[in-house]
Amino acid sequence: MIRVKNLHKKFEDLMVLNGIDEHITQGEVVVVIGPSGSGKSTFLRCLNLLETVTEGEIYVDDELITAPKVNVNQVRQKMGMVFQQFNLFPHLSIMDNITLAPVLLKKMTKEEARKRGQELLERVNLGEKANAYPAQLSGGQKQRVAIARALAMDPEIMLFDEPTSALDPEMVGEVLDVMKDLARSGMTMVIVTHEMGFAREVASRVLFIDQGVVMESGTPEEIFNNPKNERMKNFLSKVLV
Amino acid sequence: MAEWAADFYKCFIREDRYKLLLSGVGVTIKVSLLAVIFGILIGMLIAMCNLSNKKVPRFIGGVYTDVIRGTPSVTQLMIIYFVIFASVQIDKWIIAAIAFGVNSGAYVSEIIRAGILSIDKGQTEAGRSLGLSAFQTMSRIVVPQAVKNIFPALCNEFIVLIKETAIVGYVGLMDIQKAGDFIKSATYIAFMPLIGTAVIYYVLIKILTLALRRVELRLRRADAR
């Protein structure tokens, strides 16, 4: 579904991604972990071209999306993205946040989009918030709306960039629950997170990225119970207290 | 006191001189209103140029802002009137409005640019990540939010613009300032017509300020939901 070949990303003189090769198949839930500054968020952002790739190739459904003439907007419609800071549109109601893109991009009529929007809101347990505005919601609620908004475009893949890092601890659970539910429904997901418990429970595969390369990759059991890489061991000893 | 009354009569009542000032108010308002419209249009265009990631528009926008900010508005007005529109048959006041619009556009563009840059980058990324085009993201997500931030600075710019138009006398238009000046020359009295001019500008701008503040309050209230 997603194939990444020799991916490099350079910011000015700083090499952030230093040759990543990865293959993510349909239905996989890939959790990306690693120390801060390791390039894991950059990797995620390259997948939907929010960052321009310096070198290397990314294929989505066998389409080379790093080709210069590719229709970026079309590619992004296949991939939903959830951000650390939610990035809801504060001037629009919750329902309008969700229906804006599907209606504007002519995927649905306004009525269809609202119906679908209500279904999605109920799926993330926010059915009664359709007419509220983002400023009236808690962090956890905002992030669940953000997930619903991304799902409204019927993406094939969902990308999560530290979705719970900006949340108060008591709200982390409600967002992870929605994500678990999504994983169970068979959605292909790539998740950058520091929630090791979540990674252990939900991931079909864990990638450990450090210094811009994938240092280790495997099932949660392999990674957490039997890490081979020294840096990986070091990292785990710090986060798994 | 009696002398004041006599001066007042001479300056404003005799020979219907107040009518001169009134028609001056008309000219000032006419020129300012049209200039505001030109200013916003040019400002949006130049702001787009300055925000573009392509080199040519950015160069054009940069030069425009640089030149306009680096030269006096009287000079610009006279160049536009006596050089650029020298052989074109258009009403004087329209040419003046174009000149002030050209000038104001440079400042408006900076206000718009700053307003758009004040919107968090995450908003653009969220829009683009949903598959919206750069234009759709700008028009549906960024600009509606930027308008509220831009509004107070834009109001300020309009007030400055109205006062700037006091130089249209240089190209032979009889606005408030020129009318006051004319009365001064005709009566050899300086105090009355000049203070009168000041009072008229002050009242005009006060009314505008109050009106704009009401609009701003309404915008803010809509924001607080």
Quote the ipTM score.
0.91
Cα–Cα nearest to B34, from B81, B90, B97, B107? B97
Distance of CA B172 to CAs A77, B27, B44, B176, B208, Å?
59, 12, 30, 12, 26
Q: Regarding beta strands A205-210 and A213-218, do their DSSP bridges make them parallel or antiparallel, or are they unpaired? A: antiparallel
Rounded-to-integer distance, Cα A98 and Cα A149, Å: 4
Rounded-to-integer distance, Cα A114 and Cα A97, Å: 11
Task: Choose between B223 and B164: higher pLDDT.
Answer: B164
Share of chain B above pLDDT 70, in %: 98
Q: Is B135 on the interface with A (CB under 8 A)?
A: no
Out of B133, B136, B141, closest to residue A89 by CB: B141
Question: In terms of CA atoms, which chain B residue is nearest residue A90?
Answer: B145
List, in order, residues 6 or more apart from A188 with CB less than 8 Å away.
A1, A2, A24, A25, A26, A27, A28, A29, A156, A157, A158
pLDDT confidence of B39, banded at 50, 70, 90? very high
Chain B residues with beta carbon closer than 8 angstroms to that of A48: 129
pLDDT of residue B12: 87
Query: Any idea which of A53-57, A91-95, B1-5, B138-142 has the lowest mean pLDDT?
Result: B1-5
List, in order, residues 6 or more apart from B39 with CB less than 8 Å away.
B100, B101, B103, B104, B105, B107, B108, B157, B161
Q: Is B145 on the interface with A (CB under 8 A)?
A: yes
**Tokens coding A72:** 């970026």
Q: Is A69 on the interface with B (CB under 8 A)?
A: no
Yes or no, beta carbons of A73 and B141 under 8 Å apart: no
Cα–Cα nearest to B145, from B122, B169, B171? B122
pLDDT confidence of A34, banded at 50, 70, 90? very high
**Tokens coding A71:** 């229709």
Kindly state the average pLDDT of the residues A7-31: 93
Mean pLDDT of chain A: 94
Share of chain A above pLDDT 70, in %: 100
- Judged against a pLDDT cut of 60, whether residue B224 lies above it is answered with no
Phi, psi for B71 (deg, rounded to 5): -130, 150
Rounded-to-integer distance, Cα A238 and Cα B6, Å: 91
- Judged against a pLDDT cut of 90, whether residue B219 lies above it is answered with no
Q: Which of B124, B129, B140, B145 to mutate to test the interface with A (most CBs of A within 10 A)?
A: B129
Give residue A44's identity as a one-letter amino acid code. Answer: L
Question: In terms of CA atoms, which chain A residue is nearest residue B128?
Answer: A73
Rounded-to-integer distance, Cα A103 and Cα A21, Å: 36
List, in order, residues 6 or more apart from A89 with CB less than 8 Å away.
A96, A97, A100, A134, B123, B126, B127, B141, B145
- Between the two ends of chain B, the Cα-to-Cα distance in Å is 57
Residue-wise pLDDT tens digits, B126-185: 999 999 999 999 999 999 999 888 999 999 999 999 999 999 999 999 999 999 999 999
| Residue A208 contacts residue A232 (beta carbons within 8 Å) | yes
Instruction: Measure in Å the smallest separation between the Cα of B210 and chain A Cα atoms.
Output: 26
Instruction: Measure in Å the smallest separation between the Cα of B168 and chain A Cα atoms.
Output: 41
Residue-wise pLDDT tens digits, A90-119: 999 999 999 999 999 988 899 999 999 999
List, in order, residues 6 or more apart from B220 with CB less than 8 Å away.
B148
pLDDT confidence of B81, banded at 50, 70, 90? very high
Out of B123, B133, B136, closest to residue A87 by CB: B123
Other beta carbons within 10 angstroms of residue B208's beta carbon come to 16
Chain A residues with beta carbon closer than 8 angstroms to that of B120: 85, 87
Please state the length of chain B.
225
pLDDT of residue B11: 83
Question: In terms of CA atoms, which chain A residue is nearest residue B136?
Answer: A104
Instruction: Measure in Å the smallest separation between the Cα of A175 and chain B Cα atoms.
Output: 18
pLDDT confidence of A226, banded at 50, 70, 90? confident
How many CA atoms, within 13 angstroms, populate the side-chain half-sphere of residue B131? 24
- Judged against a pLDDT cut of 60, whether residue B29 lies above it is answered with yes
**Tokens coding A4:** 């990444």
Q: Is A79 on the interface with B (CB under 8 A)?
A: yes
Chain A residues with beta carbon closer than 8 angstroms to that of B138: none
Question: In terms of CA atoms, which chain A residue is nearest residue B219?
Answer: A91
- Judged against a pLDDT cut of 90, whether residue B25 lies above it is answered with yes
Exposure b/e, B45-60, CB count within 10 A at least 16 = b: bbbbbbbeeeeebeee
Rounded-to-integer distance, Cα A135 and Cα B117, Å: 21
Helix (H) / strand (E) containing B42: helix B17-51
**Tokens coding A77:** 């419609």
Kindly state the average pLDDT of the residues B32-59: 94
The DSSP secondary-structure symbol of A128 reads G
Q: Is B219 on the interface with A (CB under 8 A)?
A: no
pLDDT of residue B225: 54
Q: Is A87 on the interface with B (CB under 8 A)?
A: yes
Please state the length of chain A.
241
Mean pLDDT of chain B: 92
Tally C-beta pairs within 8 A across A and B: 65
Q: Is A101 on the interface with B (CB under 8 A)?
A: yes
Rounded-to-integer distance, Cα A144 and Cα B212, Å: 39
The DSSP secondary-structure symbol of B156 reads H
pLDDT of residue B2: 82
Exposure b/e, A164-200, CB count within 10 A at least 16 = b: beebeeebbebbbebbeebbeeebbbbbbbebbebbb
Out of B131, B136, B140, closest to residue A77 by CB: B131
- Judged against a pLDDT cut of 80, whether residue B222 lies above it is answered with no
Chain A residues with beta carbon closer than 8 angstroms to that of B144: 91
Rounded-to-integer distance, Cα A201 and Cα B121, Å: 33
- Judged against a pLDDT cut of 80, whether residue A241 lies above it is answered with no
Kindly state the average pLDDT of the residues A29-57: 93
Kindly state the average pLDDT of the residues B101-108: 96
Query: Any idea which of A117-131, A175-189, B3-17, B126-140 has the lowest mean pLDDT?
Result: B3-17
pLDDT confidence of A122, banded at 50, 70, 90? very high
Chain B residues with beta carbon closer than 8 angstroms to that of A136: 225
pLDDT of residue B221: 75
pLDDT confidence of B53, banded at 50, 70, 90? confident
Kindly state the average pLDDT of the residues B87-104: 94
Q: Is A14 on the interface with B (CB under 8 A)?
A: no
Rounded-to-integer distance, Cα B102 and Cα B43, Å: 9
pLDDT confidence of B223, banded at 50, 70, 90? low
Instruction: Measure in Å the smallest separation between the Cα of A143 and chain B Cα atoms.
Output: 13
Cα–Cα nearest to A160, from A1, A75, A33? A33
Domains belonging to chain B, first-starting first, are 2-224 (1.10.3720.10)
